[in-house]
Amino acid sequence: MPDPAQSRASLGRLRWRCRRGLRELDELLTRYVDEQYSSAPAADQAAFRELLDSHDPLLYAYFLGRETPADPRLARLIATIIAGAGQVARED
């Protein structure tokens, strides 16, 4: 069983990595960590950590649909994050 304190610290570090300086990206990425990351499969969690290694302009292009990642795992994850954001917007 994972240590809850360690899990919270790990999520805190991820949330910090989601801070990109572009409010839209910050919100999309942080919402994913807060609402979906913990219950996501390990492969999706690894893909998310990899996605966070991308440069901000590239991330922005991905989320605007101007570019598509070559890695299909990342493309699927981005679609999941965007769909989750759309779902929240409809609930508001």
What pLDDT digit, counting tens, does each position of 32-82 carry? 999 999 999 999 999 999 999 999 999 999 999 999 999 999 999 999 999
The domains of the chain are located at: 4-91
Residue 90: pLDDT above 70?
no
**Residue 2 DSSP one-character state:** -
Residues with Cβ within 8 Å of 52's Cβ and at least 6 positions away in sequence, in order, are 14, 17, 18, 29
Q: What is the pTM of this model?
A: 0.84
What does the pLDDT look like over 12-43, one tens digit per residue?
999 999 998 899 999 999 999 999 999 999 99
- Domain 4-91 is of which CATH architecture? Orthogonal Bundle (1.10)
